[in-house]
């Protein structure tokens, strides 16, 4: 079957714009060619049986709701490419705004030590380390698969200023003598009773997404404990759901952070909160 005929079939059966668009991504993946090649050759390249069966297999997985990033095994964050696989959280575009804020903080304060708590595939930590080759970045995660993957992703980008360690939040830093200028975290913050079995979240690891106490348990733990690991004038930056903003402000205040601000995402909803440790 010619490429254009396969595409026509997809359009006909699955009259859904995003599936049609993503079928180009699947073609790219299966044929190992770029989009331009696919467009130019769609009327004269005949898919062989193996290619066709593989494409249909991937398409069915996508139609069942599996995220395209798991299917093709990669994702992009701030224009850097990352390997990703099942059981590791796929970085979201909304977190990019948070990283842009961190870039701004590092530039104006000349910060040197950054910690990413719950690093996943390493996207937040790695983008910072890539942009600032002279600073030291550490990423920790409770999932050893995530640590392995982050190491691989940082190796692919040839980074020498980044380190990853398995840790249950701060357990790796038992003696509390490690201090950072910025601690950033996109922790699990969805209520664990939320029914995710009907949507695409069911493909992502439970531990990445869900937390006790209405999704607040890990966030509260991080707010209260980060204080010990921050340098004076250092910042804690936490991603969260817009519904959690009031309770998060309460705990930032309660723990004694200053300059607490909430920032919005691309959908104009509160997405992350920052607070500064100041001891006069």
Ligand X SMILES: C[S@@+](CC[C@H](N)C(=O)[O-])C[C@H]1O[C@@H](n2cnc3c(N)ncnc32)[C@H](O)[C@@H]1O
Q: Are 242 and 262 in contact (CB under 8 A)?
A: no
Which of 124, 137, 162, 237 binds ligand X (CB under 6 A)? It is 124
Which of 22, 96, 141, 265 binds ligand X (CB under 6 A)? It is 141
Determine the Cα–Cα distance for residues 116 and 105; give it in Å rounded to an integer: 15
Q: Are 232 and 197 in contact (CB under 8 A)?
A: no
Nearer residue to ligand X within complex by CB, 62 or 240: 240
Give least dist CB 220 to ligand X, A.
13
208 interacts with ligand X by CB under 6 A: yes
- Judged on CB neighbours under 10 Å (0-12, 13-18, 19+), 168 is exposed
215 interacts with ligand X by CB under 6 A: no
Nearer residue to ligand X within complex by CB, 23 or 185: 185
Nearer residue to ligand X within complex by CB, 2 or 76: 76
How many residues touch ligand X under the rule CB under 6 A: the total is 21
Nearer residue to ligand X within complex by CB, 3 or 126: 126
Tell me how many degrees the CA angle 273-279-280 measures, rounded to the nearest 5. Answer: 130
Closest CA to 41 of 85, 80, 5: 5
Give least dist CB 222 to ligand X, A.
9
Closest CA to 71 of 34, 9, 118, 28: 28
207 interacts with ligand X by CB under 6 A: yes
* Residues numbered 182-201 forming contacts with ligand X, rule: CB under 6 A: 186-188
Select from 8-16, 101-109, 167-175, 248-256 the region that touches ligand X (CB under 6 A): 167-175
The dihedral over CA atoms of 54, 58, 60, 66, expressed in degrees to the nearest 10, equals: 160
Give least dist CB 172 to ligand X, A.
9
**Phi and psi dihedrals of 251, rounded to 5?**
-70, -35
What residue ranges bind ligand X (CB under 6 A)? 89, 91, 95, 118-120, 123-124, 140-143, 146, 167-169, 186-188, 207-208
């Amino acid at each position: 079957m010619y490429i254009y005929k396969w595409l026509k079939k997809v359009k006909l059966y699955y009259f859904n714009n995003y599936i049609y668009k993503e079928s180009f991504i699947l073609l790219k993946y299966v044929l190992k060619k770029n989009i331009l090649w696919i467009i130019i050759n769609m009327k004269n390249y005949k898919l062989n049986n193996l290619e066709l069966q593989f494409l249909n297999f991937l398409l069915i997985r996508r139609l069942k709701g599996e995220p395209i990033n798991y299917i093709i095994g990669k994702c992009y964050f701030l224009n850097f490419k990352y390997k990703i696989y099942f059981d590791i959280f796929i970085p979201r575009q909304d977190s990019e705004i948070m990283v842009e804020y961190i870039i701004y903080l590092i530039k104006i304060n000349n910060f040197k030590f950054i910690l990413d708590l719950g690093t996943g595939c390493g996207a937040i930590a790695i983008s910072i380390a890539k942009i600032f080759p002279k600073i030291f970045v550490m990423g920790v995660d409770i999932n050893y698969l995530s640590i392995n993957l982050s190491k691989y992703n940082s190796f692919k980008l040839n980074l020498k200023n980044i380190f990853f360690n398995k840790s249950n939040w701060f357990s790796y830093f038992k003696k509390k003598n490690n201090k950072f200028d910025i601690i950033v975290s996109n922790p699990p913050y969805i209520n664990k009773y939320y029914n995710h079995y009907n949507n695409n979240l069911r493909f992502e690891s439970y531990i990445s997404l869900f937390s006790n106490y209405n999704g607040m348990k890990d966030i509260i733990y991080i707010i209260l404990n980060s204080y010990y690991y921050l340098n004076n004038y250092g910042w804690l930056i936490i991603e969260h759901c817009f519904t959690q903003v009031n309770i998060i402000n309460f705990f930032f205040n309660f723990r004694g952070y200053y300059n607490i601000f909430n920032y919005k995402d691309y959908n104009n909803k509160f997405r992350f909160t920052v607070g500064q440790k100041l001891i006069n």
